[in-house]
Amino acid sequence: MVFSVLIIEDEEILSSILKEFLEGLELEADIAENGEEAITKLKLRTYDAAIVDQGLPDLSGDDIILNAYAIRPDVRYFIYTGDHTYKPSEELLSIGVDENSVIFKPVFDMMTIYNKILNLEN
């Protein structure tokens, strides 16, 4: 079984780089450019993890995760943000999205993302 990741990111260059990186490590990666597309994809198939940009045009990353969790509580969710003061809300903490689930941009070592999503590091 191949580990699958949904990348929810509106910046095409970032999502493409991340997708290519993950596929190079033999993970399956799919991209959604906004919250609506992400929710649709999560309804249609199962992913092991989702990397969710905090600053999307239609919904915040927090809102996407809370909506997605109602559909797919088994997915491991990560917030992807350039806001280095970001802290998960109480609602996110209650569903298991904690400070170890935050990935700060820019990512200088892409293996950090790989290790986090495969639960190799906290």
Domain contains 37:
yes
Domain contains 122:
no
Give per-residue pLDDT as tens, 53-108.
999 999 999 999 999 999 999 999 999 999 999 999 999 999 999 999 999 999 99
Would you place residue 1 in the very low, low, confident or very high pLDDT band (cuts 50, 70, 90)?
confident
Q: Report the CATH number at residue 81.
A: 3.40.50.2300
Q: Answer whether the bond into residue 106 is a cis peptide, omega within 30°.
A: yes
DSSP label at residue 101: G
Give per-residue pLDDT as tens, 31-60.
999 999 999 999 999 999 999 999 999 999
Number of structural domains, the chain? 1
Which string of DSSP letters, residue by residue, matches 16-85?
A: HHHHHHHHHTT-EEEEESSHHHHHHHHHHS--SEEEEESB-SSSBHHHHHHHHHHH-TTSEEEEEES-TT
